[in-house]
Amino acid sequence: MSLLIQKPARLLQNLREIRALGADGPSRLRLYGNMFQANLKRTHHGWSSLANRVFGTAPVNVQLHFASDMPFCYRPGTTDLLVLEQVFLDAEYRVEPIAPKSIEYIVDLGSNIGVTAMFWAQRYPNARMVLVEPDPDNFRLLQRNTVAFQERCVLLQVAVSDKRGETSFFRSDREYGHSILKGDDSVSEIVVKTMTVSDVVRESGFPRVDLLKMDIEGGEQIVMPTIGTWDHAPRYLIAELHPPYDFAAFKRHCQSVGLRATQPPSEGFRCNLPFAARASSFR
């Protein structure tokens, strides 16, 4: 086993960037140390287990500094801080030029521990959101991480699928990688409740869907073919795609309900993930 840590300069930059999200000294120090752990999980599993023994793995609380300070609870030694990196540093879900105040109803499929919900709360001040996360451990942190704006949220501990009922749910050693589809990195299996997209929207009581985000670790190959049956096609749709479901299939399914799909880099709208909008929205 190699003892070298790959790309140390990039690692140091990453640590500085995540530390800067802390609202106070203790939060910045904690984020710095725990992001080192998270990078080891991503790049060097041998050192990762040692770092976990040194730094610990019990959930911790910090304060993040945005327009207003926000509490954030995460699990050191997991992929939780890698999600924070993707959303707030890499800006995966930042779409230009959507007017922030025009977004009032958000459906977040695959909410994980609530990092995207925190991003929506900051970026779209008028938005209410329904947050869908089936994994019980992730869901407990989702509840904690949305307390600051809980009056704007409906939380559902279910998996989205093509029908209502129950299904097997496969937990990954990557905490953001749990899925209703069994993968090579699956480590355990539980049974979870399922809802369709229309079920989710009805449960929320939303009259329409302005923005739908889908990151369900391969489950899009089951859910996206049902888009023609949804009660409300979204104005905007952001999706993380996983093989074998590809952009061609995503584009075809979006076109069936009048959405125009693009992938980065794209014209009209700028987004770091495959994105679709009503065709009339493009100029």
pTM beyond 0.95, yes or no: no
pLDDT one-digit tens code per residue, 166-225: 999 998 877 777 888 887 778 889 999 999 999 999 999 999 999 999 999 999 999 999
User: What's residue 46's pLDDT?
Assistant: 59
Distance CA 85, CA 87 (A): 6
User: What's residue 258's pLDDT?
Assistant: 96
Residue 255 near residue 242, CB atoms below 8 Å: no
User: What's residue 4's pLDDT?
Assistant: 41
251 CB neighbour count, 10 Å cutoff: 17
pLDDT one-digit tens code per residue, 71-83: 999 999 888 999 9
- In angstroms, the first-to-last Cα distance of the chain is 54
Domains present along the chain, CATH in parentheses: 1-90 (no CATH), 91-283 (3.40.50.150)
Distance CA 70, CA 62 (A): 8
Phi, psi of 248 (to 5 degrees): -60, -45
pLDDT one-digit tens code per residue, 212-267: 999 999 999 999 999 999 999 999 999 999 999 999 999 999 999 999 999 987 76
Per-residue pLDDT, averaged over 22-38, amounts to: 93
Q: Residue 52's pLDDT band (boundaries 50, 70, 90)?
A: confident
Per-residue pLDDT, averaged over 145-157, amounts to: 97
Cβ-based burial of 169 (10 A; exposed 0-12, middle 13-18, buried ≥19): buried
Residue 163 near residue 187, CB atoms below 8 Å: no
CA distances from 54 to 174, 175, 266 (A): 20, 21, 44
Residue 211 near residue 126, CB atoms below 8 Å: no
The token duo for 88 is 């707030």
